[in-house]
Amino acid sequence: MRPIRSVPTPLALAVTLALVAGCSPAAEVDVVLVSTGTIVESFDEPGRTRLSRTHRVSMSVDARVGRVELEPGDAIEKDAPIVLVDLKPFELVVAEAESAITELDAQLDVNANEELEDTARDYVQQTIAASEEALQAAQQQVEAAKARSERAAREAERSREIFESGGLTSPSQVEDAALLADTSRIDWLQQQFIERSFATLITAMKLGPRLIDNWLARRRLESHVIKAQRAQASVRLERARYRLALAKGLVSPVAGVVLRKLDPGESALPAGAPLVEIGDLADLEVVADVLSSDALSLAVGGPVTLDPGGGRPTIAGRVKRIEPAGFTKLSSLGVEQQRVNVIVGFDAVPDGIGVGYRLAARFVTGTKDDAVIVPRFSVLQSATGVHHVFVVEKGTLKRRDVTLGLRSDLQLEVASGLAAGDRIVRAPDADLVDGGRVSVRDPAE
């Protein structure tokens, strides 16, 4: 007869499993006490110093210059000369233009002086008046000569008639009377000629004032032409002086340092030829390209810590500007990233930092005091994206979901789910489960 095998009941099986579990050794873990404190959220990006403004000094005019003695790194004051310019050609052009204006001004003065014409007009008018008086006298002489001629003609006619009638008149008397008549007629004709001469002279002299006025009108027109020429000469003078000022103006626009020497000079250079580039180190700033997603957490005026390296102390700065246009850049792993330039200004420009220096920029995106803080590696994330920690209570693990806040390199802020004084596993591994038994390696911790 075969023996009957007993089948374990479910209750017996559960008791057996509980006994086996109770006999298994507890896992050893390190714990940490949840505390409160200040947490600073930030991210790091490499940066490079540059000047917000640079000034390139170039030739303003075609000129012959000497050698540029400045070297990169040399300090230079505002309005200090950059290079020696040959100013003689420019000064000669200015002098020539000034002489042309002086000559034109003299011509205008001559044309404006009408004293000679006024004197001539007075002389002509006085001569006309005297001639008119002489004309009147000549007219009277004509009348008198006419009367004498007519009388002499009558006397000659009477003498001839008496002689022809057999009177006492002799032939010589007839001849004398005829001669006197002819002489009187000639005198009358002469007086008529003199009268007409005076009349013609007066008519001609009366044209004198008109000729003088026409002459003055012509000179006034010439003055308008000269004034136009003077205006053109003034423009040439102004241009010559401006070019001279440009030639003299090859000076530093700011007080700063020489960044680059672009042309040694000592030759005839055309306008626009670059000479030096100058900058003011007070305009020093840092440019860093950051991920566009990180840039969204930045604001103008936000704090930035700049590390020059080499054991030098860090430098305080502020976000000065976030450029509006982003760009695509390949990461060191060949992944395309969308980035944007962030400009950082120094709170105080440090000594010894120049243009093109590399610095590590730490951008602070958030700070909170009295925050519940846990180590970064004490928080796990499930496949569903939920964050959790393991709290140790009387040797038993309790899984607790948490909500995270600010994050630093080594710490995390727990916005909800934990309180100060809770003990959690410092660095849990994947073998820990909720409800599992654990032993603390350092109970005092």
* pLDDT tens, position by position, 75-92: 889 889 888 889 999 999
- pLDDT at residue number 221: 85
Cα gap 424→378, rounded to integer Å? 8
- pLDDT at residue number 272: 86
Cβ(291)–Cβ(322) under 8 Å? Answer: no
pTM of this structure: 0.57
- pLDDT at residue number 2: 37
Q: Which CATH fold would you assign to the domain 94-246?
A: Helix Hairpins (1.10.287)
Rg for the chain, CA atoms, rounded: 61
Cα gap 202→190, rounded to integer Å? 18
Q: In CATH terms, is domain 45-52+281-367 a member of 2.40.30.170? A: yes
Cα gap 430→437, rounded to integer Å? 15
Cα gap 141→139, rounded to integer Å? 5
pLDDT 10s digits, 260-272: 888 776 788 888 8
| Tokens encoding 362 | 């730490």
Question: What phi-psi label fits residue 370: left (phi over 0), alpha (psi between -120 and 50 degrees) or beta?
Answer: left
- pLDDT at residue number 317: 93
Region 25-40+368-440: CATH code: 2.40.420.20
Cβ(35)–Cβ(381) under 8 Å? Answer: no
Number of H helices, E strands in the chain: 5, 20
Give, in order, the Cα–Cα distances in Å from 298 to each of 33, 341, 344, 384.
32, 12, 11, 29
Residue ranges for the chain with pLDDT beneath 50 = 1-23, 444-445
| Tokens encoding 35 | 């505390």
Nearest 5°: phi and psi at 85?
-110, 140
Nearest Cα residue to 297 out of 365, 345, 361 = 365
Which amino acid, one-letter code, is at 234?
A: S
Nearest Cα residue to 83 out of 101, 105, 60 = 60
Nearest Cα residue to 293 out of 337, 330, 334 = 337
The position carrying tokens 């579990």 is: 21
- pLDDT at residue number 403: 93
- pLDDT at residue number 442: 65
Cβ(355)–Cβ(284) under 8 Å? Answer: yes
Question: What phi-psi label fits residue 311: left (phi over 0), alpha (psi between -120 and 50 degrees) or beta?
Answer: left
Cβ(177)–Cβ(152) under 8 Å? Answer: yes
Which amino acid, one-letter code, is at 229?
A: Q
Q: Domain extents for the chain?
A: 25-40+368-440, 45-52+281-367, 54-84+255-278, 94-246
